[in-house]
Structure 1
Amino acid sequence: MFGYVTANEPELKVKDYHKYKAYYCGLCQSLKRQYGSAGQLTLAYDMTFVIILLTSLYESETKAESHRCKMHPLKPQPMLENEITEYAADMNLIMAYYHLEDDWKDEKKVAGLLGSMALKRKVEKAIRKYPRQSRVIREEMAKLSEYESQGIQEVDYPAGCFGRLMEEMMVYKEDCWEQQLRGIGFYLGKYIYIMDAYEDLDKDLEKGTYNPLKKMHEEAGYEERCRDILCMMIGECARNFEILPCVLDVDILRNILYDGVWKHYRKIQEKKSEEKEDDKESL
């Protein structure tokens, strides 16, 4: 994923900050144990939210350990792991594999070819273990690739693909909470895709590469429309989240959903404001 679903760490209580980091390090450890160093390269903070949410919902028994790693070779790092961590590691690898595979097929990126080859044998076990999620991720990634190759400018179409694959991934169990988890996953996935397009627009305009917001960018009220869409996506995520009976780590989850997801957006706005000031000074 893209690193948009993270906590606003300075606003977390100290104990919650350390717990958030421990879940992240636990995911890294699980990826290493199951898939080696290649698996660790797929590590993303976004998946930490999934772990904390599902752990809170299902009250999974969590094991606390400490391990040294390449990033912290001298001091053992606290790590939290449970069955959800292993599930998230599998989903992380599956998503990374299909993304790299599409990079090679669509853009002939050598990194995509080498990355998908490195993960191919490792990911086969996860695909067999989770056929429902794997099928939807594969199909939606293929559909997304088709929309992008066609240059589709209705952002809802490609964003919907990412929403549906996130929706399927969020459903750890098909039970009474499935509807709410699907709602969170779908709108969070759309938010991630649109936020990524919003952040990359200037670069894509300069390079002439695909971006589903190019047409909207030419119209009046572009900034306001983008913010309204992003707010709507997170609003729907939050609405579904608040229905769930989550108590454990709920402060961390709310920090992510109500604040952390906006970190990149705020940075983009700050950058744009600075550029406007520089332009004024150069006149």
Structure 2
Amino acid sequence: MFGYIVINKPEMKFKDFDIYQSFYCGLCRTMHDLYGIKGRVALNYDMTFIALLLSGLYEPEHQINRCRCFLHPVRKHLEVHNQYIDYAAKMTIALTYLKCEDDWLDDQKMTKQLYKKILEHSYQKVKEEYPQKIKIIEEQLVLIHQYEQQESVHIDDISGCFGKVMAEICAVEDDIWTEHLREFGFFLGKFIYILDAYDDIEKDLKHHTFNPFIDQFQQVDFEEKCYHLLEMMISRAAEAFEYLPIEENVEILRNIIYSGVWSQYELRKKRRLEDKK
């Protein structure tokens, strides 16, 4: 379920892209500093968005460095560091570990089990720091797995479980913005789950694995139904987002919410139509 919360680069100003990249590079460096190469492998754009969102809302002090790394050995690049980038790194480890566990239960892939074991110690440290948060995330992912064992599941129920996962991740502080952050995360999480199911439908049919859209895939209005579901979810997320008093990097965040996530949908829809041809 990673890789859907991205920018629409052609619609972004150059200066905004440089800022976005500095957060991504800062998260990459933090993942390496905290967890080594095994952590850096888990790096994804979704948690870069979370770091940007929380940094924009709470406006922490930034430490900005100009550095080289093994991916950019010649030219120095900007890296942003702050407490919410650290938090995003820890949530990346938690979600990656639990995703490996889920993939192992579903597909019995040894690579997932091996990576899970590699992340075990780091995951336990995150769990010790955020016991209640990780408990809720674990419970919701277990519930998703239980739904997947049933013959008939309503998409609203199962996507709501991942909505609660993202709500928990977004609500880092207990303050006046918690309600809006939870609402935003809940509908963003539902959007991610539905788009992931839409993306995987052919693969799941081929391998006879669970997908909430299997019964609807051959219906003539399948594409239209999926689009409207996604539109409902991201609209509710956007409504909650606009209640947050974010000024710092707000145009980057809007690029992602209003455009970037849809670019991922359009990419997958185009690929499906090309495959049919």
Q: Give the alignment of 1:230-245 within 5 angstroms.
A: 230-245=230-245
Aligned counterpart, 1:261? 261
**Correspondences of 1:57-206 after superposition (within 5 Å):** 57-206=57-206
Deviates more, 1:94-103 or 1:213-222: 213-222
- CA drift at 1:269: 2.7
Quote the Cα distance in structure 1 between the aligned partners of 2:143 and 2:190.
14
CA distance in 2, matches of 1:117, 1:267: 34
Instruction: Answer whether contact 1:151 1:212 (CA < 8 A) is retained.
Output: no
Deviations, residues 67-118 of structure 1 (Å, cap 9, x unaligned): 2222222222211110000000001101111111222234321012101110
User: Relative to structure 2, which stretch is displaced further, 26-35 or 66-75?
Assistant: 66-75
Which segment drifts farther, 62-71 or 118-127?
62-71
Question: Contact 1:61–1:82 at 8 Å: present in 2 too?
Answer: yes
Q: Percent identity?
A: 40
Amino acid at match of 1:105: L
Report the residue type matching 2:42 in the other structure.
Answer: T
Identify which range, 61-70 or 258-267, moves more after superposition: 61-70
Residue in structure 2 matched with residue 22 of structure 1 by the alignment: 22
Matches within 5 A, 1:26-45: 26-45=26-45
- Tell me the secondary structure at the aligned position of residue 150 of structure 1: coil
Q: Find the residue that maps to 2:49 and give its secondary structure.
A: helix
**Deviation of the 1:151 alpha carbon:** 4.4
Contact 1:188 1:237 in 2 (8 A): yes
Say which is worse superposed, 122-131 or 179-188, in terms of deviation. 122-131
Give SS of 2:36's match: helix
Alpha carbons 1:153, 1:215 under 8 Å: kept = no
Displacement of 1:265 in angstroms is 1.2
Secondary structure (helix, strand or coil) at the match of 2:211 reads coil
- In structure 2, C-alpha distance between the alignment counterparts of 1:126 and 1:207, rounded to whole Å: 34
Counterpart residue type for residue 235 of structure 1: S
The CA RMSD measured in Å over matched residues stands at 1.4
How far, CA to CA, are the matches of 2:161 and 2:137 in structure 1?
Answer: 9
Give the whole-Å Cα distance in 2 for the aligned partners of 1:207 and 1:12: 38
Q: Distance in 2 between matches of 1:226 and 1:8?
A: 21
Q: How many residues are treated as equivalent by the alignment?
A: 277
Superposed CA offset, 1:239-262 (max 9, x none): 000011100101001000000001
**How many angstroms apart in 1 are the aligned matches of 2:92 and 2:22?**
17
Alpha-carbon deviation of 1:220?
4.3
Alpha-carbon distance in structure 2 between the residues aligned to 1:44 and 1:194? 19
Q: Within 5 Å, which residues of 2 pair with 1:3-14? A: 3-14=3-14
Distance apart, 1:50 and its partner CA: 0.8
Aligned AA (1:260): G
- Range that drifts further, 40-49 or 219-228: 219-228
C-alpha deviation, 1:195, in angstroms: 0.2
CA drift at 1:270: 2.2
Q: Deviations over 1:191-239 (max 9, x none)?
A: 1111011011112222222111111224442111110000000000100
For 2:124 and 2:80, how far apart are their aligned partners in 1? Answer: 26
* TM-aligned CA distance change 1:274 to 1:247, over 3 Å: same
SS of residue paired to 1:259: helix
- Segments of structure 1 that go 5 or more residues without pairing to the other structure are 279-283
Letter in 2 for 1:266: E
Cα distance per residue 1:13-59 (max 9 Å; x no partner): 11100000110111111111111110111111011111111111101
Aligned residue in 2 for 1:222: 222
The structure-2 alpha-carbon separation of the partners of 1:116 and 1:20, relative to structure 1 and needing over 3 Å to count, comes to same
Distance 1:137 1:72 in 2: 35
Q: Shift of the alpha carbon at 1:275?
A: 4.3
